[in-house]
Structure 1
């Protein structure tokens, strides 16, 4: 097989795909629960002193809701982070009037249906318009959407606002949102408003509210959280134009504000007041809400680090080396084993060729581990939450590897030879530089092996991300040396060459046989991409691979037939990349990819773990990813074992699964706290004990012993 020629062919065939991979986020993010869109209004164009509004419009599915700036008894407010050119300043959210959302014994404040959260932009004289005549706006938004369960979601949005023309497409929505914003009470009325602490309640008095609401019961929305009992019954009355109310204080009140900002509402209208608070506040609730014994146990649980945290640097180097050796036995490396076996058979009687190949392969592995580790460390230093195997969290990388393995498999199967596809100057690279083949095979080995975490690797990689750069890179070097060592030794041991049969016709049959592990790797990568982008992305990738295979075949033809069919294949490839490239390369929003989940397992969140452990509930967490073959093996064997599941039931364990298939900074941070930077990771949480991290390749007896607490 000619690796340099393969890469050259792939680079030409995958140009449309790679170009589409650079496409950034748009103005809309859709999940099964909401449709979020970045919208803008500039009725007089974009100039200093002219009004410009932007906002996030969220359309909720029935029964789902997001939260106001004070979410109430639970929940989180929506957060907007803007990236704007110099001279453009974003103001605060002009929060529309919320509604009360009772959930059991709790009351939250938020929005259902469709809501627009408007934000004013101030265009200062320092703003310098771009030559394109557009104002680029970028937004990163985080929101919590809830029904019976809550799902944290996020989105990145971009919008280019024309400078010289009016933008009023969403004028009606902005007008409605601003009209729904609570109005501040006139100064004279606000001066007559009062708040007084009376025992375990807060007494509010507001005079001269609009005549249209007099005599009606008003809704109360406190802007300060954890002050009043949101679900308690409020006693209120009218005396002429004076409204009074007695609002019970929260039993868990943690603050005693001197001013009580509050929104009063009736008939869809709201008024905002900030009365000063008179009277002496009662003592706040103690910080601990559990028994002293359980609180102490939880403190010990938090303070105790997992065993890997104490790993020394020398031990980490040793673990990295042995982890790299064991990595050769991981299923994800099997496709590269096929390439190496073919290379060994090519040099069956060439001892010098064996040695050169082994050294070049080792150099490729070491260089790739250092480059990949250095890139991960640099990105983490820049604020990115990344871990080991991060490149396969990119659908574009997964698709490119699937295309590469498809071409390798077709070459092994004998459909074509790269020498017949490329110019003679490129084809001659194999004869002139055979070392390059072996080096690039080492590069490919690291690209494919990196999603796997072998035994011993997890602790050493977890330590690496916290070490100085030189020490961290030393761990990656030892990891690469362990991966390359079997081939390096085999290339220098004459006995290995003697074990191989003499070259002959069997080599061609053997090479064709090895095409099937490559096709299996393609099937796995398509499945991984389906987990990341959905069934449409997987279908588009399959269509692209078919067109790529057709193109490879047509280039083996001769004469006019080759020109005609190759042209059709190129058009098909370009058309599929153009129409389906976005589906292939764009990650689906969190929660949009349907998969057959074991009903025993629930979605993971750090808050969920804390709540369960605080309630005395043992928890087993599976940190996993679709591209992690070891994860899938453990899932189908040990975690599906009947005895293991019976022990989970007997111990009343809650089973949580943290899916890291796509980038998730929360999961990355949780792995780092456990002293890990990749998956699989399996953790047992029990009240009053430190988290117990199990081995990467799970055994039935190991899990049963761990969950039994022995």
Structure 2
């Protein structure tokens, strides 16, 4: 009897246009059909848990040949109209729109969806932790050759209890990913110009465009033609031209506030903009080259203060001390030579990155530290610099060349500048990541311009002394005390070599890395024996040192780039887990916070962030929260997945930290240098406890 009563209730609910409570349906409501469309409410979670923001969705299915409309339908139609007034314990519900499709019929341009669409909805319960009964009256316009308005009454009950992922969690997460958002590494709007009623938009796609489309919104609403496209740079750049279809007399688009939605397949980006007459656009996503050059200059200057550059201070200090008591002209020449070395290194790096990018390879700031041969080169170079400071060898220049280089020679200061640049690349200073990301997402001209500005910024202290050479006169005059200073600074540089060997361990394993270290110790010993010996033995020492250096370079080739490399070890204190991008959406749908740390053994700024912020005090306590998932993406060795993740967020260097959560499903990117306040604020926002939105 009870079974028959239940069946009767189910039949009555369907006939009445309602649905049964969905607590037992795993967050998925039943389909309700009206004419050519059927709809249902879904939830990414089974229960309300303690969430302050519920990930929901309105799912539609349309019969073949029928469509419904986007928030700005175009020449005809209207967007979905939703009434949640019958809901219980629901403070508000915000619907988001996935990227639309264009429909061109008989000269009319409309935007919307056909076949199927899932609209993500963020629901905020009035009392978190209590049951939420959703009741929605949805008015939709569906069109084919004719248009028919339809009204559907939908319901879904979410009980109190754990906010575990439902059967619809992946669908809701995918729908959220299809909603156009702010700047990303895939698409970028560069500039907007307006001439009368014609709008011209320039955009860039990192992987090249396939079939780009552009939707323009403004107040009061205007209708635009389908864009005409002109491609360049191997389809990575496009110019889209649109015209207002029904202009009013005197209409002028220049100076008008716009919202632009650029769509290319499943990739999309949305950006507010203000069109300018024949000039570049002020779009948050497309900062101009001139402004970015200033950012790069500042980033290069701040790089002097980063821990990566500290090992070079020994060489800087020696070069400065040598200038004590010298003529202003000699001081100026030496410091200009160091600045030239820095600038040359940056331009060489730009050339390599442009070449790698043109060949289709992954590019980024500091990625050369992922290559074992480069690390061995740096170990050998630092060891030789230390041996030189200890007086174990000198490389005298030919008399004529020494005279041309300015008496005592400018090769040393020039080499010091290049060396400073090489050791600076494991660090990502504030502003530097923004500038490098801008450059590497554009063409060769921008790459060279930005890297030149970075070089000038790093060289500014040298240039300042060159402009006021009398500053060097305040330093003590050279004397015997310099011999002791050279020994101390040589040992300081050897500490850098030890650090490089620890990075090399992650590439070729402990045994091979230790072998390189022993070869370097033998190199120093050979130079010392050669320095103190006489006759033929005097040349045998440097020769043996050269052979040992060659043997060190052979180690990566013999062992292989990853054989025996140290695996990523999870930190029990914070329960770091390996980075899996696809799992982020599932965790967020389940109401968890996800903290992603893209790091590497060679990134000193990354290690400083961990020791000074992530592993200390209140931040460390928050990282131990069971509802927080700490993901570590180890980029010590090349990893295409991590490189793509960085590029998708417009980043080409590390450290990179981003926080996801119910309150920030698209993530909140953190600055390069972390602080307790910045991390805690992002965690609170991601949990839905703050007022900010995810970016």
TM-score, with length taken from structure 1? 0.54
CA drift of 1:593 comes to 1.7
CA drift of 1:342 comes to 1.0
Aligned to 1:168: none
1:560-579 alignment to 2 at 5 Å? Answer: 560-562=536-538
Q: In the superposition, relative to structure 1, how do residues 402 and 565 fare at CA in structure 2: closer, same or farther (>3 Å)?
A: closer
Question: Structure 1 residues 592-601 or 686-695, which shifts more?
Answer: 592-601
Q: In the superposition, relative to structure 1, how do residues 326 and 548 fare at CA in structure 2: closer, same or farther (>3 Å)?
A: same
Aligned to 1:342: 318
Aligned to 1:211: none
Report if the CA contact (8 A) 1:309-1:463 is conserved: no
Report if the CA contact (8 A) 1:392-1:398 is conserved: yes
1:285-684 alignment to 2 at 5 Å? Answer: 290=168, 294-295=172-173, 298-299=176-177, 303-305=181-183, 309-350=285-326, 351-419=328-396, 434-556=409-531, 557-562=533-538, 580-583=555-558, 586-588=560-562, 592-594=565-567, 596-599=569-572, 600-650=575-625, 652-684=627-659
CA drift of 1:491 comes to 2.7
Report if the CA contact (8 A) 2:599-2:656 is conserved: yes
Report if the CA contact (8 A) 2:657-2:669 is conserved: yes
Q: In the superposition, relative to structure 1, how do residues 499 and 339 fare at CA in structure 2: closer, same or farther (>3 Å)?
A: same
CA drift of 1:297 comes to 7.2
Question: For residues 598 and 170 of structure 2, what CA distance do their matches in structure 1 show?
Answer: 31
Report if the CA contact (8 A) 2:520-2:548 is conserved: no
CA drift of 1:673 comes to 1.1
CA drift of 1:549 comes to 1.3
Aligned to 2:107: none
CA drift of 1:490 comes to 1.8
Q: In the superposition, relative to structure 1, how do residues 426 and 594 fare at CA in structure 2: closer, same or farther (>3 Å)?
A: farther
CA drift of 1:347 comes to 1.6
Q: In the superposition, relative to structure 1, how do residues 393 and 296 fare at CA in structure 2: closer, same or farther (>3 Å)?
A: closer
Question: Structure 1 residues 454-463 or 434-443, which shifts more?
Answer: 434-443
Deviations 1:255-303 (A, max 9, x none): xxxxxxxxxxxxxxxxxxxxxxxxxxxxxxxxx9626994587247763
**Which one has more relative contact order, counting CA pairs under 8 Å at least 6 apart?**
1
Report if the CA contact (8 A) 1:644-1:704 is conserved: yes
Report if the CA contact (8 A) 1:530-1:537 is conserved: yes
Report if the CA contact (8 A) 1:298-1:614 is conserved: no
Question: Structure 1 residues 528-537 or 406-415, which shifts more?
Answer: 406-415
**Corresponding residue SS for 1:655:** strand
Report if the CA contact (8 A) 1:540-1:581 is conserved: no
CA drift of 1:450 comes to 1.5
Deviations 1:488-529 (A, max 9, x none): 102322452233112222222222221122111101100110
Q: In the superposition, relative to structure 1, how do residues 428 and 627 fare at CA in structure 2: closer, same or farther (>3 Å)?
A: farther
Deviations 1:611-642 (A, max 9, x none): 32343322110111111111111122211113
Q: In the superposition, relative to structure 1, how do residues 291 and 622 fare at CA in structure 2: closer, same or farther (>3 Å)?
A: closer
Q: In the superposition, relative to structure 1, how do residues 567 and 474 fare at CA in structure 2: closer, same or farther (>3 Å)?
A: closer
1:254-265 alignment to 2 at 5 Å? Answer: none
Question: For residues 648 and 595 of structure 1, what CA distance do their matches in structure 2 show?
Answer: 19
Deviations 1:430-482 (A, max 9, x none): 77572222222222121111121101111111111122221222111111111
Report if the CA contact (8 A) 1:603-1:658 is conserved: yes
Report if the CA contact (8 A) 1:334-1:517 is conserved: no
Report if the CA contact (8 A) 1:614-1:687 is conserved: yes
Question: For residues 449 and 555 of structure 1, what CA distance do their matches in structure 2 show?
Answer: 33
CA drift of 1:413 comes to 2.5
Structure 1 unaligned regions, length at least 5: 1-287
Report if the CA contact (8 A) 2:523-2:544 is conserved: no
**Corresponding residue SS for 2:658:** strand
**Corresponding residue SS for 1:434:** coil
**Corresponding residue SS for 1:503:** coil
Report if the CA contact (8 A) 1:684-1:693 is conserved: yes
Report if the CA contact (8 A) 1:301-1:691 is conserved: no
CA drift of 1:545 comes to 0.6
Report if the CA contact (8 A) 2:594-2:630 is conserved: yes
Question: For residues 305 and 576 of structure 1, what CA distance do their matches in structure 2 show?
Answer: 44
Report if the CA contact (8 A) 1:660-1:667 is conserved: yes
Q: In the superposition, relative to structure 1, how do residues 678 and 571 fare at CA in structure 2: closer, same or farther (>3 Å)?
A: closer
CA drift of 1:362 comes to 1.7
CA drift of 1:560 comes to 4.5
Question: Structure 1 residues 636-645 or 673-682, which shifts more?
Answer: 636-645
Question: For residues 665 and 329 of structure 1, what CA distance do their matches in structure 2 show?
Answer: 31
Q: In the superposition, relative to structure 1, how do residues 539 and 295 fare at CA in structure 2: closer, same or farther (>3 Å)?
A: closer
Report if the CA contact (8 A) 2:382-2:493 is conserved: yes
Question: For residues 607 and 484 of structure 1, what CA distance do their matches in structure 2 show?
Answer: 42
Aligned to 2:662: 687
Question: For residues 383 and 401 of structure 2, what CA distance do their matches in structure 1 show?
Answer: 21
Question: For residues 293 and 395 of structure 1, what CA distance do their matches in structure 2 show?
Answer: 42
Question: For residues 479 and 571 of structure 1, what CA distance do their matches in structure 2 show?
Answer: 37
Deviations 1:381-407 (A, max 9, x none): 211012111211111111111111111
Question: For residues 693 and 654 of structure 1, what CA distance do their matches in structure 2 show?
Answer: 16
**Corresponding residue SS for 1:637:** helix
Aligned to 1:257: none
**Corresponding residue SS for 2:482:** helix
